[in-house]
């Protein structure tokens, strides 16, 4: 069964510094998608970045980049130049299923990031 592991329950980072949030996954599927979401204290889930299992390059979206190491089954999120507004819970997730014919996501337990001024 698919599984997402986030081993960092909480992290601190100084404003303007970069931070890496870890995510490892387990799946027997050859085709899968990995996502990162941000959840502020308000509760909404905000999509940040996506990485496909066949994508040759690491995904980037503004200050967010994904360090994808397929052989190690890791998909770490890198946030550059942290801002106070980045303080939130961050979830790594994987889309399950064959051929993508489902929108069921398997989530990790999340990492609570606190950005300090």
Q: Would you say 59 or 79 has its CB closer to other proteins?
A: 59
- For residue 66, the tally of other CB atoms under 10 A from its CB is 24
Distance of closest approach, residue 7 Cβ to other proteins, in angstroms:
14
Q: Would you say 71 or 101 has its CB closer to other proteins?
A: 101
Distance of closest approach, residue 43 Cβ to other proteins, in angstroms:
5
Contact, 53 vs 75, CB < 8 A? Answer: no
- Residues at the interface with other proteins (CB under 8 A): 31-33, 35, 37, 42-47, 50, 52-53, 91, 93, 95, 97, 99-110
Which one-letter DSSP state was computed for residue 84? G
Q: Would you say 41 or 117 has its CB closer to other proteins?
A: 41
Distance of closest approach, residue 90 Cβ to other proteins, in angstroms:
12
Cα distances (Å, whole numbers) of residue 31 to 4, 47, 84: 16, 20, 36
Could you tell me the maximum CA-CA distance found in the chain, to the nearest angstrom? 44
């Amino acid at each position: 069964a698919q599984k997402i592991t986030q081993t960092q329950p909480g992290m601190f980072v100084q404003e303007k510094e970069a931070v890496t949030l870890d995510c490892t996954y387990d799946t027997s599927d050859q085709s899968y998608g990995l996502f990162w979401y941000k959840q502020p204290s308000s509760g909404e889930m905000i999509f940040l970045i996506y990485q496909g299992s066949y994508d040759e390059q690491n995904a980037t979206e503004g200050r967010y980049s994904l360090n994808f190491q397929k052989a190690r089954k890791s998909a770490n999120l890198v946030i550059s130049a942290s801002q106070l507004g980045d303080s939130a819970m961050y979830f790594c997730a994987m889309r399950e299923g064959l051929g993508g014919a489902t929108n069921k996501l398997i989530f990790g337990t999340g990492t609570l990031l606190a950005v300090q001024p």
